[in-house]
Structure formats: structure tokens, C-alpha cells
Structure 1
Amino acid sequence: MSPSISEGVVLSALRRVQDPDLHADVVTLGFVRDVSIDGARVAFTLELTTPACPARGLLERQAREAVLAVPGVEDVRVRLTARVRAAGAAPGEAPQIRNTVAVSSGKGGVGKSTVAVNLALALAQTGARVGLLDADVYGPNVPMMIGARGLPGMFQNRIVPVAAHGLRLISIGFFVPAEEAAILRGPMLSSTIKQFLFEVEWGELDYLVIDLPPGTGDAQLTISQVIPLTGAVMVTTPQAVALHDVRKGVAMFRQLDVPLLGIVENMSWLTCPHGDRLPVFGQGGGRRLAEEFGVPLLAELPYDAATQQGGDTGRPVVVAAPESAQAHAFRLLAGQVAARVSIQALKPLPTIR
């Protein structure tokens, strides 16, 4: 006679499966749901913290193997789902936004907006509900880079974001003609950003990616003070000048109690026609910076002509060339960012006073 299989025995086996990012077992984390037992067959759901979970394949395999090791179990079916948790309390005026991720840089020209656009798209491609807020009001490049045009609509006195490639996005670039400059003093800039945060009908979002202007100015201060930021991603090149300015950005976010999710080193190298890597802007700067501040190096992205051309033509690389190495790199970055956001969801966000 085969031994009886109980839900308690199954859960006990699953307690041996650890999430590598959250450092706890899947039962304690509340991932295991809907356990059903039919003779020698066991089925259950693993509800992960994000559809972009970089460890989803590993967790599924380990969970199946753990339950198959239970005496009497002959077949295991694992259903993977995801529910993005909110990191800290949602802001009162935007309760449907679960997590806010700021993409920032110490200086211009490091590819911050390119990273923000492709990161948001890569997250959306996993099935997450994603918005993209272009807060770089003096250089609103997101509409051009993502190929979105037209004036956002209005519904019940609220702005309807533009939809493109599965994203909901807003930018001052939709309201200002391309040949004109957005000339805004500090209070007007702050008012515009608040309007984009609280007067746009975002709907339910798992992630709102915010493309900040470079530097440490009014936009960063306004966003950090009016909405709880889940965390910031700092974009740099390996160049010493860029690294110098990133340190100032990191210091600003720490002063504002905004968690730093990690560093993205862009334009890390150029791949020559014969396959060698040429470190045009230096080498290892992003890694050294991450080690200095004790945060992850989320990605090292090579300079890629197709990525640049995609931004110029409104066809981001993760959409135009989803099977390319560069698109794969952005999807890995999205997984890393989502994992760091999930870690933040386990602890409350600080209150800025």
C-alpha cells in the first residue's frame, strides 16, 4: 500500500525550496496556493511576486523535485502565476500604483532614457501592468523613442495616458511641439510632475517607471517627496566623469531615503566586427561603483547600433528585435529590477518628512 499523502507533508517538502532573492522558503513567503491531491498526483500553484521573476524556472523545477521526493507521489503539476506586491503603502492620491521605479543618471548622454524605455517594455512583455512617466521635461525624448504621437485624451477631467506597445505613458512631449522648448521654472516644473502623477488615469499598475532628468534638481526632489519611490536605478557609463556625477545622485537619493535598487552600466563595450570587445569609455567603472555603495550591478549593456537606431525611429530594440542579444540583456535587467522591487516589498518604505 502506498503511503498517504497529506497537504501538510507536501508543504513540509516545499519548505526546502528557497527563493534566492528573498532568502526565505516558498511556503513562508506565501507562494504556495491551491494544493490538491488525487491519489499519487499532486498539483499546486506557485504565486510569485512578479511575472518578471528571474528565478521562476529554478523555483518551478525545485518545487517539482521536492514534492516528487515525497513517498507515494508519482506526478506533480506546478502552475506558475504572479501577483506583484506593493512595496510600502500606496500613495493616497495614486492608490492603484503598486511600485514606482525612478531611472536616473548623474549626467546626460549616458543612455538613461533608452534604459528607461526598454526596461519598461521588458517588464510589460512579462505580463506586468506598466506605466512610463517621462519626467525629463527639458528633454522629453520618450514619445520619439517609443514611436508614440498625438495628444492624450481627457475623461472626467483626468488625462488619459497614451498607449504604446503595451505601456501607458505620459510626457510633456505630447503637449509641446517638437520644435519648441519647455521653459519651466522650479514651481511650474513641480506642478507639471505632480499633474502627471496624480491627474493621469493610470489605472492599476504593477510598476510605474519614471524617467528622471539627469542630475539632482527639482524633478528628483518633487517626485521623492510627493510619492513613495520603491527605489531608484542609476544609469552610468564606465567613464570617470559619469561615475563622478553618479556619486552625487546616489548621495541625493540616500539623503531623501530612497532605496537604491542598483547600478546599470551602459555602453560598457563595443563589439568589433571580428568579435573582440573594445571598452571605448573605460572598463569596470560601474562594478566598482556598485561595490563602493554596496548595491547590485544590475546590468552591463554594450553599445549597440540597433538600440540607438531603434530609439531614433520609434522602434525600441526589445520590440523591434526581441530575439537579439541586446533585447535579452534588457529582459535580464527587467528581471533583476523586479527582484529588487520584490525585496523592497518585504519591508516598509520610510516616511519622508
Structure 2
Amino acid sequence: MSMTEVIPLADDVQAALATVLDPEIGRPITELGMVRDVAIDGGDVTVTVVLTVAGCPMKDRITREVTAAVEVLPRVEAVHVELGVMTDQQRGDLRELLRGGSAEPTIPFAAADSTTKVYCIASAKGGVGKSSVTANIAADLARRGLRVGVIDADIYGHSIPRALGTTAAPTQVDRMLMPPTGHGVKVISMGMFTEGNAPVMWRGPMLHRALQQFFVDVYWGELDVLLIDMPPGTGDITISLAQLLPHAEYLVVTTPHLAAAEVAERAGTVAKETKQRVLGVIENMAWAELPDGRRWTPFGEGGGAAVAATLTRELGYVVPLVGQVPIEPGIGTGGDRGVPVVLEGADPIPAAESLRAIGGWLANQVARPLRSLPFVGSTTGGCCSSGMCATC
């Protein structure tokens, strides 16, 4: 084969490889320096790809996608993919590339030019379904084409990985963690760092450090929305979040039971102290659909509306009741199977339809301009203006 034939083919191969994205980083493997060599012998093409780490869990997928991209080119008869591993220097260069040349890692969502919307799914009350609501909203937003990440900030009671169907551990590249993906959603959770079902027994400072690492050490790439599944209560994690991401907004989850609603209100009114905004209220377990068409309300009625009304009065702006989610066994079984109910496409499921409607509403919020909300910290550099934490 003459050189005039080989050179155009080489150009075509490079162009084809530029369409292959690293599954964890979401950028072309050519841009990331992962293509070490391309050798052409007649119609045989051998591509040498260097992985970020040995035993990369995505190596089979990368091999398949490189093969598929190249084998369709004219005059290509066979494609061979050889795998290697990046050197320490290459991994360092990759980290610097992804960090934008920054010497020290920072919280990308706290940057002035960040366009990522950050929403905390919160309630001072446990057992109201924050995690199932978070997983379903995240899956629905990803289904709509948005780039979505989820942080499982419930350090003690982590459950998001199972709900989103991912059991993979993060891949470490130099000093960065690549979050695994479930149903198109990037996920990080303390459950990915514990053995089996071992409990996490930490005090406040360690909780703060863990949350900070989820923001700083994880490479999230470009996200449209980041959802944070908050733990019950208004303690350490809530205070840390106010310090790390003062512009995060809240969605408060409650059940119809008035006693639960009163507790859930505390998660919203704490926003008054941290100078953060409550976007809306979601009422979960609102009713059960009976076979005869009637609605059974085992947890009472009116809790969601009561929380929305109280927060509207306390915060001085309208906090809407965004949606009511019926009781549906499929939410629990889907979470156990790692398939959010919003992705079930068979018979209409009232709870799934409600959650999709909430997802649609939130997608519209993601599209709106970032709200400028001044954060008033203490003069001593604390995280809140009320002096409610030791930092202040």
C-alpha cells in the first residue's frame, strides 16, 4: 500500500477515535491522551489505548467502542485493540487537564461561573422517602437528557447506590475519584467505601471532611444539576453544606401526617438561618389507590400543604407544594432492584406519573438563570449568621 493511501486512512482513524468517549469522564479518549499509538498494516488497524488504572472496570466497553468506531471505515478489514496503563506522569497530566490547570482542587459548584444547579432533598424527619424521591427525580432528569449527579450525604444511612442500580466502586485516577454511573446518573456515596454492611461511626468533623471530599476529590465533569440526598435532622451535614455550598437550594420532603409535617418544617426554616432558598415541598406517601378507584389516606391529609404554607409565611416568599406522590409498592421494589419507578414503561403507575411531573417541574427550574442570593457569614469567617455552630 502506498503512503498516499495510508495517510488518509490514518487521519480517518484518528477522527473516528475522537468520537469515542471515556465512559467515566465523558470526554474523547484522544483529548485525554489515552490513544498511545495507531498502527496500520494494509487493512489491519491496531490501536493502543492506555487506561487510567490497571483493571479499569470500563476496559471492555472502551475496547468495544474503539472497535466499533474504526471497523466501519472504508478499507479497514480488521481492528485490534491493545490495552496499556498510564504512567504516573500521564495520570498527573490528566488530573491537571481535568482540573483546568488548578494546582489545588476546589469545589466546582461553588465557583462564581458554575452553571450547575444544586438541590438538597431534605427533611428533618426520617422515613419520609427522601432517598427514593432523590433517586427517581435524578433518573427522570437524566431521562430528559440532563447531565445529573447525586451525592448521598446520608453518611450513616446511605442507600442511593442500590436505588440507582450501581454497585461499582469509584475509579481512582491520581488523586481524583471517577464516580460510577447508574441509569445515566453519576453517583457517590459512603456505601462505596465501606465493607459489606458495616456501619459508619463518625463524629461531626469527619462528616464534614467526607462531604467536602465528595465535592472536591470527585471528578464530576460538567453537570446541569446535582442532587444531594440529605440525612434526617438539621445537624452537622446541614451546617457543613451551608458553609461549602451556600447557594444550594432545598426541596423539603414530608408525608401527609401533621406530626411528620411539623418536623419536616424544621429543615425548611433552617434555611432562614443559613440564607439558603427553599424551592418547594414534596408530599410523599400521599394516598393509596384502591382497586375501586377510591383513595385511602392511612397517614392523614394536608401535611404537604401545611408545610408549604408555614414555610411561605416564615421565609417571606412563596414556597409551593410541588407535587404529591401516592403510595406505590413499586417504588420500594424498584429501589431494591435498582430500577427507579419513573423508568418503568409498562402500565401507567400513578406514583411514577407524579414523580415524572415533579421531574419536569424541576427541569424547568434547572433551565432558569441562577438566582443571586447573598450569603451572610459571621465576621469571624463562620458558616452562618446565627452563631448556631461551633465554627461561628
Q: TM-score, normalised by structure 2?
A: 0.64
CA RMSD of aligned residues (A): 1.9
Write the letter of the residue equivalent to 1:127: G
Q: Does the aligned pair in 2 maintain the 1:96–1:205 contact within 8 Å?
A: no
Q: CA deviation at 1:167?
A: 0.5
Rounded Cα–Cα distance in structure 2 between residues aligned with 1:124 and 1:269: 27
Q: In the alignment, what sits opposite 2:76?
A: none
Question: Which one of the candidate residues 178, 188, 213 is aligned to 1:195?
Answer: 213
Rounded Cα–Cα distance in structure 1 between residues aligned with 2:196 and 2:152: 15
Q: In the alignment, what sits opposite 2:30?
A: none
Q: Does the aligned pair in 2 maintain the 1:299–1:329 contact within 8 Å?
A: yes
Rounded Cα–Cα distance in structure 1 between residues aligned with 2:366 and 2:373: 11
Q: Does the aligned pair in 2 maintain the 1:236–1:264 contact within 8 Å?
A: yes
Q: Does the aligned pair in 1 maintain the 2:152–2:189 contact within 8 Å?
A: yes
Q: CA deviation at 1:317?
A: 0.6
Q: CA deviation at 1:232?
A: 0.3
Q: Does the aligned pair in 2 maintain the 1:237–1:243 contact within 8 Å?
A: yes
Asked if residue 130 in structure 1 is aligned to residue 130 in structure 2, the reply is: no
Rounded Cα–Cα distance in structure 2 between residues aligned with 1:337 and 1:184: 33
Q: Does the aligned pair in 1 maintain the 2:257–2:302 contact within 8 Å?
A: no
Q: Does the aligned pair in 1 maintain the 2:287–2:295 contact within 8 Å?
A: yes
- Helix, strand or coil at the partner of 2:195: coil
Change in CA separation of 1:196 and 1:117 when aligned onto 2, cut-off 3 Å: same
Question: Which one of the candidate residues 363, 376, 380 is aligned to 1:338?
Answer: 363
Rounded Cα–Cα distance in structure 2 between residues aligned with 1:222 and 1:282: 34
Q: Does the aligned pair in 1 maintain the 2:150–2:188 contact within 8 Å?
A: yes
Change in CA separation of 1:125 and 1:331 when aligned onto 2, cut-off 3 Å: same
Deviations 1:230-265 (A, max 9, x none): 310000001122111112111111210110000000
Rounded Cα–Cα distance in structure 2 between residues aligned with 1:143 and 1:150: 9
Rounded Cα–Cα distance in structure 2 between residues aligned with 1:256 and 1:148: 33
- Helix, strand or coil at the partner of 2:110: coil
Q: In the alignment, what sits opposite 2:323?
A: 299
Q: In the alignment, what sits opposite 2:349?
A: 324
Q: In the alignment, what sits opposite 2:335?
A: 311
Write the letter of the residue equivalent to 2:354: A
RCO (CA 8 Å, sep 6+): is it higher in 1 or 2?
A: 1
Alignment of 1:62-101 (within 5 A): 90-92=109-111, 98-101=116-119
Q: Does the aligned pair in 2 maintain the 1:106–1:236 contact within 8 Å?
A: no
Alignment of 1:173-184 (within 5 A): 173-184=191-202
Alignment of 1:240-259 (within 5 A): 240-259=258-277
Where does the alignment leave 5 or more consecutive residues of structure 1 unmatched?
Answer: 1-88
Q: Does the aligned pair in 2 maintain the 1:213–1:219 contact within 8 Å?
A: yes
Rounded Cα–Cα distance in structure 1 between residues aligned with 2:109 and 2:175: 22
Q: Does the aligned pair in 1 maintain the 2:152–2:188 contact within 8 Å?
A: yes
Asked if residue 261 in structure 1 is aligned to residue 279 in structure 2, the reply is: yes
- Helix, strand or coil at the partner of 1:329: helix
Q: In the alignment, what sits opposite 1:274?
A: 292
Asked if residue 142 in structure 1 is aligned to residue 167 in structure 2, the reply is: no
Write the letter of the residue equivalent to 1:224: A
Write the letter of the residue equivalent to 1:325: P
Rounded Cα–Cα distance in structure 2 between residues aligned with 1:350 and 1:257: 8
Write the letter of the residue equivalent to 1:309: T
Deviations 1:106-150 (A, max 9, x none): 211111100011011111111110001100000001112122112
Rounded Cα–Cα distance in structure 1 between residues aligned with 2:247 and 2:159: 22
Write the letter of the residue equivalent to 2:303: G
Write the letter of the residue equivalent to 2:191: G
Structure of higher CA gyration radius: 2
Write the letter of the residue equivalent to 2:364: A
Deviations 1:152-203 (A, max 9, x none): 1012310100111000110000111232101111000000000001110000
Where does the alignment leave 5 or more consecutive residues of structure 2 unmatched?
Answer: 1-107, 313-318, 378-392
- Helix, strand or coil at the partner of 1:268: strand
Question: Which one of the candidate residues 108, 112, 131 is aligned to 2:126?
Answer: 108
Q: In the alignment, what sits opposite 2:29?
A: none
Q: In the alignment, what sits opposite 2:178?
A: 160
